[in-house]
């Protein structure tokens, strides 16, 4: 649902209140160099932050120039980005350190190694002038059919997740970067992706996974992000992002969080289709959020959200005190994190920590099979999520980097058109003739086409070595616990018995 773009403005608010309302917004935008005029005007009126995506990234020098340009307009502008590691990140083209996804770090369960990976990511952000990282994921992967959390979580045990969170937050804080635990009060107990529709966690209160969020608050996390998820045990009507019971009573009251509470992106269908982005902005701030994210690059959507907030202030539907309180939290965050040190002042980080962690995760999954050099590798995985970055990595590329004799078949997303499941199977069997065969799937339980390809191949080639690049699957001999490049490289080394 796209808000209407242009309309006559209402009566002017006092300047201080107008600035406070703008502090409560985080905007996405298009472009890698210049700043669009509508964004300049928002920044001039007090915009609290911007969020960068792959669309804003060409290389490291360009990102540094872009963040310098933004801060020349407003020095206390918070510049943020999703930076979870693994296959979730937007800075591949800018030389981001390669670290495994969170689940692999949880498998290793070495907080010092987790801290080293988080430190590398945070140190790199500072060299680019980025001071807020919308990570780590504090969700617990509680439902096997959950389609969106999975290896983005540190695990399925709240205590393990809490340990990893504490290490990540402390390392990020030590760098002077703001971390953000998400998605409160948890997205791991749903079977729906809130990017696509409203998600519901039906569990009773005493079974919700709140422990990691308590741990994050106790660790001093400066940002928390809300979930677009309905929790009937807490509020049967509204998703957490719009619920005073969850944001004010639970998070502020019971958990004692005093930092900045930011919404997940308002254009996600769980909010946009049911309420609209503009109403979502007003309702989220009224419920207790301090900032709302409008991630889409269409600034007309951001302006409509801003106008809805200003209108609600004029009518009294949104209390002035609520907005000024939120804006003051954002100002405190900005004073602490907005202006980064220059790149030359940033100390080096451990560039090998990510591969070390990925290797230990694979070797933590039980006995491993003998290497199969010269194999034909079939890599099956779902089409990349439209809201999450994908750097183009695949297992075959990583295998061939250490074993040039290997061949393979890569299938990103369910075959369609002329490329059918049957044709993929036939292609793979031809390629594997006279060679060892390795078949990798990624969450085949959620994507039945992968299971059909795998089962057809193993019916002909029962000697095939099975690999999982998502969560562990029945019969999988090797598990990467993620699809970051270092996860795939670690598996490639096991398959080939070689490393570079």
Task: Give the catalytic positions in this structure.
Answer: 195, 264
Neighbouring CB atoms inside 10 A of 434's CB total 7
> Which of 399-415 are b and which e, b meaning 16 or more Cβ less than 10 Å from the residue's Cβ?
bbbbbeebebbebeebb
**Alpha carbon distance 387, 133 (integer Å):** 16
> Which of 244-280 are b and which e, b meaning 16 or more Cβ less than 10 Å from the residue's Cβ?
ebbbbebbeeebebebbbbbbbbbbebbbebbbbbbb
Sort 479 into a burial class: Cβ within 10 Å, 0-12 / 13-18 / 19+: buried
In 3-state terms, what secondary structure has residue 437? strand
Nearest to 239 by CA among 250, 226, 251: 226
Cα distances (angstroms) measured from residue 215 to each of 138, 160, 161, 210:
9, 11, 9, 9
Alpha-helical segments (H) within 50-196:
60-73, 102-108, 111-128, 158-174
Whether 436 and 369 have beta carbons less than 8 Å apart is answered as no
**Alpha carbon distance 66, 60 (integer Å):** 10
Nearest to 442 by CA among 393, 405, 407: 393
In 3-state terms, what secondary structure has residue 73? helix
**What is the DSSP track for 14-39?**
PHHHHHHHHHTEEE----SSS--HHH
Whether 77 and 71 have beta carbons less than 8 Å apart is answered as yes
CA 194 to chain centre: 13
In 3-state terms, what secondary structure has residue 143? coil
Quote the DSSP letter at residue 85: B
User: Strand 260-262 and strand 223-226: pairing?
Assistant: parallel
In 3-state terms, what secondary structure has residue 319? coil
Instruction: Extract the tokens encoding 125.
Output: 């952000």
């Amino acid at each position: 649902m796209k808000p209407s773009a242009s309309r006559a403005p209402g009566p002017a608010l006092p300047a201080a209140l107008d600035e406070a309302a703008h502090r409560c917004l985080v905007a996405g935008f298009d472009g890698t160099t210049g700043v669009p005029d509508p964004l300049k005007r928002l920044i001039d009126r007090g915009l609290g932050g911007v969020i960068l995506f792959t669309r804003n990234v060409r290389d490291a020098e360009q990102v540094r120039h872009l963040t310098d340009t933004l801060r020349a307009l407003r020095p206390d502008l918070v510049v943020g980005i999703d930076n979870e590691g693994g296959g979730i990140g937007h800075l591949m083209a800018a030389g981001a350190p390669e670290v495994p996804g969170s689940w692999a770090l949880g498998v290793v369960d070495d907080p010092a190694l987790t801290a080293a990976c988080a430190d590398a990511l945070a140190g790199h952000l500072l060299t680019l002038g980025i001071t807020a990282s919308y990570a780590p994921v504090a969700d617990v992967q509680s439902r096997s059919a959950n389609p969106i959390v999975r290896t983005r979580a540190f695990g399925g045990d709240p205590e393990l997740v809490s340990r990893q969170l504490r290490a990540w937050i402390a390392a990020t804080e030590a760098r002077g970067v703001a971390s953000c635990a998400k998605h409160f009060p948890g997205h791991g107990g749903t079977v729906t992706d809130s990017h696509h529709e409203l998600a519901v966690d039906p569990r009773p209160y005493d079974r919700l996974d709140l422990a990691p969020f308590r741990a994050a608050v106790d660790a001093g996390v400066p940002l928390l992000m809300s979930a677009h998820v309905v929790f009937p045990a807490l509020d049967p009507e509204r998703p957490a992002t719009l619920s005073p019971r969850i944001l004010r009573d639970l998070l502020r009251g019971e958990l004692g969080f005093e930092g900045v509470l930011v919404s997940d992106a308002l254009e996600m269908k769980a909010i946009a289709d049911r309420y609209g982005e503009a109403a979502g902005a007003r309702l989220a701030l009224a419920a207790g959020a301090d900032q709302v994210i409008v991630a889409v690059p269409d600034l007309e959507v951001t302006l409509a959200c801003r106008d809805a907030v200003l209108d609600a202030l004029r009518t009294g539907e949104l209390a002035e005190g609520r907005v000024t309180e939120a804006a003051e939290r954002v100002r405190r965050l900005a004073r602490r994190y907005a202006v980064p040190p220059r790149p030359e002042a940033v100390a080096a980080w451990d560039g090998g920590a990510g591969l070390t962690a990925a290797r230990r995760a694979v070797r933590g999954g039980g006995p491993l099979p003998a290497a199969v050099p010269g194999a034909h590798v079939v890599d099956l995985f779902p089409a990349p999520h439209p809201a999450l970055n994908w750097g183009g990595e695949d297992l075959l590329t990583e295998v061939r980097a250490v074993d040039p004799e290997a061949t393979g078949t890569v299938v990103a997303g369910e075959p369609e058109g002329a490329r059918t499941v049957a044709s993929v199977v036939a292609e793979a069997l031809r390629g594997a003739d006279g060679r060892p065969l390795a078949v990798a799937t990624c969450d085949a339980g959620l994507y039945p086409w992968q299971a059909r390809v795998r089962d057809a191949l193993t019916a002909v080639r029962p000697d095939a070595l099975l690999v999982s690049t998502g969560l562990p699957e029945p019969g999988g001999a090797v598990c990467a616990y993620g699809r970051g490049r270092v996860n795939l490289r670690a598996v490639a080394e096991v398959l080939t018995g070689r490393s570079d």
